[in-house]
Amino acid sequence: MENHNVKLIKINWFKRFLSGLISIFGHKSDNYKFSTPSYNRYGFVMRAQSSIEFLTTYGFMFIIIGIVISVLAFISVSPITYSASQCNAFAGPSCVTAQLYSNTSQHYSLVTLVLTNSEAVPVNISNISVSIRGISSTGTCTPLYLVPGQSAVCVAKLGFAPSLGTYLQGFYALNGKYCNAGISGLASSNCTYSNISYSGSFEAAAEPKEYVAISMLALQSNKTIYLTPYYASPVTPTGYPVIQNGYFATNITNGILEYAFGTPDYQGNVYLGEKVVPFPQSVSSLNNARVVCWVAPYNSTFSVFATTLYMPRPYVLNVSIVTDDAMEVYYKPQTSTTWSSVFSGAAWHPQGATQYTNNDVIVSGGTLYNIEILWSNVCAPGVQVLKISNMT
């Protein structure tokens, strides 16, 4: 009896549901009544005609219902798509790209902006502030000193995590100084600085992958330098005119950030689990290995790679490099003015492809870090490989 009652309840509910649909589409439910079926003189139910009339009258409703269900099912299983980001500088250094990383499990987000010095003089960045939905934060840029045409990777951490795929608008303000004396004045510390404050806007969709932009600067000596001296902090040496600059983008995957670039002689080789590829197009001159070895006047190439990384908690990082010839990795917290070097100059000398590893690089949690990688190729060929792991 209980099962029979349940069945009757389901039938009555379906009748009411169908009658409601008919009413919604402008038909009276009385046009089709769910009444006791009629019988002919032989005792057979006369349903055929009624069924045809029902399907003819209300079949389009079932088609619409099917379409709606199909659309809902498609939406429910379709992956999130992310709209292209936009970035607009109101004045000063141009804004090349903007990305928004949302960490919903730890409830924070990172805004990454790539700004290019479009001024004719060097720029010294103090900080950058970012605001989204009234929530503001002060971030940092790497490198802090930009020659004309050089890009900086600026990152700010915000204390909220928008839903993935959410498209948001934000604003930024860049503060710093520029050197009226030009590049020569910056190198000799004879600048007459003027304060600057530039602003802009950006739009980006919240994404689940931590986007990492790496600024690149390619330089070449004036045939009077074989290998630049080792510096305790990252500096752009004198006597190396800038020949190319730009940036490339990658991601932190499974707590690992890595890349491998080299001249044609090294391309295709695998180091630290990464296959060596040509240097990115914006610094393609590094692929040419245009260096003169051993005989004066010497000629060498030099590069500065730079990025900004956020460390959500304390880590003991593993930093490994493979280099031909000289290479060093520098890092410092956002609030510090003192740089630390990972290898203390041990890798700064002419050599074939050689691996160096430091398993004891300690960083603080909840902190933005400035990272710079200096590399010099004094005799062709050349290779530059970096792997930073244990960021999980």
Q: Are residues 190 and 128 in the same domain?
A: yes
Q: By mean pLDDT, which of 114-123, 281-290, 380-389 is the weakest?
A: 281-290
With 70 as the cut, is the pLDDT of residue 286 above it?
Answer: yes
CATH code, 358:
2.60.120
Q: What is the mean pLDDT of residues 234-254?
A: 86
With 80 as the cut, is the pLDDT of residue 61 above it?
Answer: no
Length of the chain: 392
Q: Kindly report, residue by residue over 157-192, the tens digit of the pLDDT.
A: 999 999 999 999 999 999 988 766 554 444 444 566
Residue 56 has phi, psi (to 5 degrees) of -65, -40
Sheet holding 242-251, edge to edge: 242-251, 211-220, 301-311, 367-377, 326-333, 340-341
Nearest-angstrom CA–CA distance, 239 and 242: 10
pLDDT tier for residue 73 given thresholds of 50, 70 and 90: low
Domain boundary among 209, 231, 247: 209
Q: pTM score, two decimals?
A: 0.76
Q: Are residues 73 and 116 in the same domain?
A: no
Q: Are residues 287 and 179 in the same domain?
A: no
With 90 as the cut, is the pLDDT of residue 242 above it?
Answer: no
Q: Are residues 390 and 266 in the same domain?
A: yes
> Per the structure block, which two tokens stand in for 381?
């060929």
Q: Are residues 260 and 325 in the same domain?
A: yes
Q: Kindly report, residue by residue over 110-136, the tens digit of the pLDDT.
A: 999 999 998 887 888 999 999 999 999
Number of domains in the chain: 3
Contact (CB, 8 A) for 290 and 301:
yes
Q: Are residues 258 and 371 in the same domain?
A: yes
Domain boundary among 209, 244, 267: 209
Domain boundary among 149, 178, 209: 209
CATH code, 150:
2.60.40
Closest CA to 289 of 268, 323, 264, 256: 264
Mean pLDDT over the full length of the chain: 81
- Per-residue confidence (pLDDT) for residue 295, from 0 to 100: 57
| Domain housing 11 | 2-77
Closest CA to 247 of 216, 219, 218: 216
With 80 as the cut, is the pLDDT of residue 59 above it?
Answer: no
